[in-house]
């Protein structure tokens, strides 16, 4: 192999930025589809499109070289973290936090086998799973990706998932299985609740705690390990030779490959996404470089030519990649569509697979409180309320069809799946009863019992980091109290990616069930909550907490064996039918959860509009479209909005005006007047890609017949290609009345490109000038 061919094996671009022709030309060793990257630019692509593209990439990588040098097929990797979760119609299992509550390694092994089979249907070879994080602070946005706060349980279940995905014995890496990834090595769960943060402590203790599950995963045959975004005592893991090489490869005798995370190499001091020999020298074997692959390819070859990367290190990385490909049998396989399971679409979401997912839901539910209302007689009239009652997207959480999940996904995007309400309604009808869906809890006839399904909105990674554990949505609590006051027995079903402080909700309910993020089979919840037609228990509660449940909203790091371990429900807690625990009202005070009007008010952060704000685009006629996903556009296509990376994956948005139209943020409810008081301002972090070809105005609506605007055309022109900047505009520049909803809008009559990473209401700091 030439140096160019070897270096190409180290490059993993995203399918959203390459074509099969690029693969034929550059011969990348691996490719991936990120959480928002579907075939042909469509994250809702049909399974047939996934397989078609897999064939195209495969054939491109098999094109003979003109010089007769060896042809090395490409490997395609995906984030199938709770089933083949990017693909419409696939079986969606509970997220790992729910699987941890089952404590059932045989079940997890079977889930891995099914996930592998469904991945193979679409022609993909490799999944970035399982996550082996030992989560020690539940504020972390990836808590639900962890099985437990206990290293032993993480180790046991993680190894089982590796065995299910890859197979064991004669079945190891057969055509029914895929390559697994043990991630994120290591310490990702110890960053004090900050995604990609720093895990600090005695290094021997950190290795014993956070690296512990990797030993079992490697013993079970894990072929790849993903380096963590995070740091150990200030040193980024993507550049940590003492751990990637000396610990993992030498001491732990790992002979597979180490893959980076999304541009993780670019976070090393002195590196960029386009150039980082330090990461390869530290022990990384594959760069995950979604967009800047061409420059990284050129710069990495130059680093080899100059000696910054030794030939020995390059050859070691390539050998590791080839070793995994050979073990997988890649050189002997036909095109993806001609493989054993390729194109067998009946396997996607098959009844047999869904039955296993339903069993996982049943076993994952944890009963925290029950005064006797459960199990429910299905022949009664059951009112099912709450925003999660009939939302498959909400019950499935992040990493579902898109990276963040939720957004504009509807039940129609989940063919064959069942919401929690649908599962309850089906069983009630069969028993002669009736289930009524009423999201807001209203009813014409008083029901016999109410079930309120509520919880966290879907999120992934840093988007889910929180400052404290208080569950802040007041609407579900109001529903629970309403039913309680009307003497209607009420069951709380909590959809969540972590334990949260819900003392008020616990006090206001007759029974409380931690349902985690159950996935596509909502009927599994009904199986446990409802009796059979003849009054018997269908399925008992089996779930036990794999994360301690807080009694205080500031109990962030709540782990057995640590100081001040005072949970409301301890690690391993979980009631069953027939068990009775007298309920004593718990303390409802949490100073941290009280709103402070003087704090900054986030309008847009981490790539998302922050409630009560929504992101919108409008055409020249003023027709508005609400934007929720990674990309969107106005009704006429004149304004396009796409996700981009500033400091983290998709944490900003690029807005492209092709013609007249507007982009902005609107509040769905009135804001606290203190947030818009005298001395307040709006701060916008932005950059300008191309200058405006026509007038651009920034405006703010402050109620009926109240609007003002500022011409920002000249300022934007001066900012072209100058990088990221910050503008602070006092609200007094706009105020012609009392601000109510504060829609903030940027209108352009011509074309230009602007990126925004944050919009915040702040104190004006004495700024009085009305200029951008």
SS (H, E, C) 500-557: CECHHHHHCCCEEEEEECCCCECHHHHHHHEECCCCCECCCCCCCCCCCEECCCCCCC
| Tokens found for residue 725 | 């900047």
- β 449-455/381-385 pair status: parallel
Confidence check: pLDDT of 590 > 80: yes
Banded model confidence at residue 628, pLDDT cuts 50, 70, 90: confident
Confidence check: pLDDT of 613 > 50: yes
- Which residues are within 8 A (CB) of 749 and not within 5 positions of it... i.e. 6 or more apart? 660, 694, 695, 696
pLDDT computed for residue 738 by the predictor? 44
Same domain, 676 and 759: yes
Same domain, 310 and 415: no
pLDDT computed for residue 765 by the predictor? 64
Q: Judge whether 81 lies within some domain.
A: yes
Question: Lowest-confidence range among 433-442, 555-564, 738-747?
Answer: 738-747
The answer to whether 60 and 23 are in contact (CB under 8 A) is yes
Same domain, 463 and 605: no
Q: Comparing 618 with 134, which gets the higher pLDDT? A: 134
Same domain, 336 and 399: no
- β 652-657/639-644 pair status: antiparallel
- Main-chain dihedrals φ then ψ at residue 587, nearest 5 degrees: -65, 130
Tens of pLDDT, residues 704-733: 554 578 889 888 888 888 889 888 888 877
The answer to whether 680 and 763 are in contact (CB under 8 A) is yes
What are 611-614's contacts with CB under 8 Å, separation 24+? 611/668, 612/667, 612/668, 612/669, 612/671, 613/665, 613/666, 613/667, 613/668, 614/665, 614/666, 614/668
Same domain, 566 and 622: no
The mean predicted confidence, pLDDT, of the chain is 94
pLDDT computed for residue 766 by the predictor? 60
The answer to whether 661 and 638 are in contact (CB under 8 A) is yes
Tokens 């060896």 sit at which residue? 70
pLDDT computed for residue 467 by the predictor? 87
Tell me how far apart the terminal alpha carbons of the chain are, to the nearest angstrom: 55
Same domain, 517 and 665: no
Q: Judge whether 771 lies within some domain.
A: no
Q: Judge whether 50 lies within some domain.
A: yes
- Which residues are within 8 A (CB) of 4 and not within 5 positions of it... i.e. 6 or more apart? 301
The answer to whether 224 and 126 are in contact (CB under 8 A) is yes
Catalytic, 261? Answer yes
- Main-chain dihedrals φ then ψ at residue 430, nearest 5 degrees: -65, -25
Neighbours of 735 (CB within 10 A): 16
Same domain, 196 and 320: yes
| Tokens found for residue 488 | 């209607």
Tens of pLDDT, residues 748-770: 999 999 999 999 988 876 656 67
Q: Judge whether 596 lies within some domain.
A: no
- Say what angle helices 151-166 and 105-121 make with each other, to 10 degrees: 40
Residue from 149, 195, 461, 651 carrying the catalytic annotation: 461
Cα–Cα dist 653/558, whole Å: 36
- Which residues are within 8 A (CB) of 586 and not within 5 positions of it... i.e. 6 or more apart? 503, 506, 507, 551, 568
Cα–Cα dist 45/51, whole Å: 10
Tell me the three state secondary structure of residue 465: coil
Confidence check: pLDDT of 586 > 50: yes
Cα–Cα dist 27/47, whole Å: 25
Cα–Cα dist 308/311, whole Å: 9
Q: How many domains does the chain have?
A: 3
Tell me the three state secondary structure of residue 175: coil
Same domain, 323 and 460: no
Tens of pLDDT, residues 53-77: 999 999 999 999 988 889 999 999 9
Q: What is the mean pLDDT of residues 345-361?
A: 99
Tens of pLDDT, residues 199-247: 999 999 999 999 999 999 999 999 999 999 999 999 999 999 999 999 9
* Final residue in a domain of this structure, among 282, 310, 345: 345
Going by C-alpha positions, the residue among 450, 498, 497, 499 that lies closest to residue 478 is: 450
Q: Judge whether 594 lies within some domain.
A: no
Q: What is the pTM (predicted TM-score) of this model?
A: 0.86
Same domain, 576 and 629: no
Banded model confidence at residue 737, pLDDT cuts 50, 70, 90: very low
pLDDT computed for residue 597 by the predictor? 38
Tell me the three state secondary structure of residue 689: strand
Q: From its phi and psi, is residue 434 left (phi > 0), alpha (psi between -120 and 50) or beta?
A: beta
The CATH number for 14's domain is 3.20.20.300
Q: What is the mean pLDDT of residues 567-591?
A: 93
pLDDT computed for residue 440 by the predictor? 97
Banded model confidence at residue 736, pLDDT cuts 50, 70, 90: low
Range of the domain at 180: 3-345
Q: From its phi and psi, is residue 630 left (phi > 0), alpha (psi between -120 and 50) or beta?
A: alpha
Tell me the three state secondary structure of residue 652: strand
Q: What is the mean pLDDT of residues 270-283?
A: 98
Same domain, 617 and 557: no
Tell me the three state secondary structure of residue 633: strand
Q: Where are the alpha helices (DSSP H) in 235-368?
A: 241, 277-282, 293-306, 311-327, 351-364
Q: Comparing 705 with 596, which gets the higher pLDDT? A: 705
pLDDT computed for residue 175 by the predictor? 97
Going by C-alpha positions, the residue among 452, 455, 485 that lies closest to residue 473 is: 455
- Main-chain dihedrals φ then ψ at residue 354, nearest 5 degrees: -65, -30
Q: What is the mean pLDDT of residues 377-399?
A: 98
% residues pLDDT > 70 (the chain): 95
759 - beta bridge partners?
604, 684
- Main-chain dihedrals φ then ψ at residue 716, nearest 5 degrees: -65, -40
Q: What is the mean pLDDT of residues 376-392?
A: 98
How far is residue 389 CA from its own chain's centroid? 21
Banded model confidence at residue 596, pLDDT cuts 50, 70, 90: very low
Tell me the three state secondary structure of residue 160: helix
The answer to whether 558 and 591 are in contact (CB under 8 A) is no
- β 11-12/287-288 pair status: parallel
What are 310-316's contacts with CB under 8 Å, separation 24+? 310/281, 313/280, 313/281, 314/3, 314/6, 314/7, 314/10, 314/280, 315/6, 316/285
| Tokens found for residue 116 | 């592998």
Q: Judge whether 759 lies within some domain.
A: yes
What DSSP state is assigned to residue 161? H
Same domain, 560 and 434: yes
Residue from 261, 363, 418, 767 carrying the catalytic annotation: 261
* Final residue in a domain of this structure, among 345, 374, 399: 345
The answer to whether 527 and 538 are in contact (CB under 8 A) is yes
Same domain, 380 and 506: yes
Neighbours of 573 (CB within 10 A): 18
Q: What is the mean pLDDT of residues 248-262?
A: 99
DSSP 477-499: HHHHHHHHHTT--EEEEEE-SS-
pLDDT computed for residue 478 by the predictor? 96
The CATH number for 751's domain is 2.60.120.430
Catalytic, 461? Answer yes
Cα–Cα dist 534/549, whole Å: 35
Tell me the three state secondary structure of residue 116: helix
Q: How many residues does the chain have?
A: 772
Give the dihedral of Cα atoms 369, 519, 393, 604; nearest 10 deg: 80
Q: Judge whether 131 lies within some domain.
A: yes
The CATH number for 424's domain is 3.40.50.1700
Q: Judge whether 212 lies within some domain.
A: yes
Buried b or exposed e, range 143-165, using 16+ CB within 10 angstroms: bbbbbbbbbebbbbbbbbbbbbb
Confidence check: pLDDT of 137 > 60: yes
Confidence check: pLDDT of 595 > 60: no
* Final residue in a domain of this structure, among 580, 614, 644: 580
Cα–Cα dist 45/37, whole Å: 10
């Amino acid at each position: 192999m030439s140096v160019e061919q070897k270096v190409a094996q180290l490059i993993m671009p995203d399918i959203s930025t390459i074509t099969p022709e690029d693969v034929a030309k550059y011969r990348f060793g691996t490719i991936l589809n990120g959480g928002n990257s579907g075939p042909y630019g469509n994250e809702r692509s049909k399974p047939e499109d996934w397989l078609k593209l897999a064939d195209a990439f495969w054939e491109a990588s098999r094109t003979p070289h003109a010089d007769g040098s060896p042809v090395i097929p490409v490997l395609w990797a995906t984030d199938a973290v709770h089933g083949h979760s990017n693909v419409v119609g696939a079986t969606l299992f509970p997220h790992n936090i729910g699987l941890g509550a089952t404590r059932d390694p045989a079940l997890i092994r079977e889930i891995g086998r099914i996930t592998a089979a469904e991945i193979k249907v679409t022609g993909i070879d490799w999944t970035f799973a399982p996550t082996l994080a030992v989560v020690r602070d539940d504020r972390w946005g990836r808590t639900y990706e962890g099985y437990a706060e206990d290293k032993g349980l993480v180790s046991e279940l993680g190894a089982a998932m590796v065995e299910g995905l890859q197979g064991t014995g004669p079945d190891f890496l057969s055509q029914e299985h895929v390559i697994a990834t043990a991630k994120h090595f290591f310490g990702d769960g110890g960053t004090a609740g900050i995604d990609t943060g720093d895990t600090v402590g005695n290094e021997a203790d950190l290795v014993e705690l956070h690296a512990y599950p990797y030993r079992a995963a490697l013993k079970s045959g894990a072929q790849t390990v993903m380096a963590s975004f995070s740091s150990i005592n200030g040193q980024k893991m993507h550049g940590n030779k003492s751990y990637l090489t000396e610990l993992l490869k030498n001491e732990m005798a790992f002979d597979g490959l180490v893959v980076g995370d999304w541009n993780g190499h670019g976070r090393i001091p002195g590196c960029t996404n386009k150039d980082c020999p330090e990461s390869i020298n530290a022990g990384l074997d594959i760069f995950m470089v979604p967009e800047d692959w061409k420059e990284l390819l050129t710069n990495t070859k130059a680093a080899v030519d100059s000696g910054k990367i030794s030939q020995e290190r390059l050859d070691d990385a390539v050998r590791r990649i080839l070793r995994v490909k050979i073990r997988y049998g890649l050189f002997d396989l036909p095109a993806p569509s001609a493989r054993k399971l390729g194109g067998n679409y009946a396997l996607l979401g098959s009844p047999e697979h869904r039955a296993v997912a339903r069993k996982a839901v049943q076993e994952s539910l944890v009963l925290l409180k029950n005064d006797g209302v459960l199990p429910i007689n299905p022949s009664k009239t059951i009112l099912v309320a709450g925003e999660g009652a009939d939302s498959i997207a909400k019950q499935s959480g992040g990493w579902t069809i898109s990276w963040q999940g939720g957004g504009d996904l509807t039940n129609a995007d989940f063919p064959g799946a069942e919401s929690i309400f649908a599962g309850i309604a089906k069983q009630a009808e069969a028993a002669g009863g009736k289930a009524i869906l009423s999201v807001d809890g209203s009813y014409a006839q008083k029901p016999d019992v109410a079930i309120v399904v509520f919880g966290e909105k879907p999120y992934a990674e840093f988007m889910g980091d929180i400052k404290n554990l208080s569950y802040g949505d007041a609407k579900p609590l109001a529903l629970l109290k309403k039913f309680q006051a009307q003497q209607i027995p009420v069951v709380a079903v909590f959809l969540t990616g972590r334990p949260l402080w819900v003392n008020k909700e616990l006090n206001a309910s007759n029974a409380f069930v931690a349902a985690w993020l159950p996935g596509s089979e909502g009927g599994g919840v009904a199986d446990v909550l409802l009796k059979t037609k003849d009054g018997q228990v269908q399925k008992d509660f089996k779930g036990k907490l794999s994360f301690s449940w807080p009694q205080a909203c500031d109990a962030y790091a709540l782990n057995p064996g640590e100081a001040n371990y005072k949970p409301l429900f301890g690690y391993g807690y979980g009631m069953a039918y027939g068990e009775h625990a007298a309920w004593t009202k718990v303390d409802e005070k949490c100073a941290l959860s009280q709103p402070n009007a003087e704090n900054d008010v986030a309008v847009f952060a981490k790539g998302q509009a922050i409630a009560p704000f929504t992101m919108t685009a409008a055409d020249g006629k003023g027709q508005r479209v609400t934007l929720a996903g990674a990309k969107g556009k106005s009704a006429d296509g004149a304004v396009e909005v796409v996700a981009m990376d500033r400091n983290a994956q998709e944490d900003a948005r690029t807005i492209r005006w092709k013609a007249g139209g507007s982009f902005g943020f609107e509040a769905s409810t009135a804001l606290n007047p203190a947030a818009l008081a005298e001395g307040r301002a709006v701060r916008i972090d932005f950059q300008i890609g191309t200058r405006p070809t026509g007038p651009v105005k920034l405006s703010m609506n402050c109620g009926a017949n109240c609007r003002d605007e500022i011409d920002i055309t000249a300022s934007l022109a001066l900012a072209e290609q100058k990088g990221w900047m910050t503008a602070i505009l006092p609200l007094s520049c706009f105020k012609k009345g009392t601000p109510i909803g504060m829609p903030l809008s940027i209108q352009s009559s011509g074309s230009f490109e602007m990126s925004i990473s944050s919009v915040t209401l702040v104190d004006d700091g004495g700024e009085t000038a009305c200029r951008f």
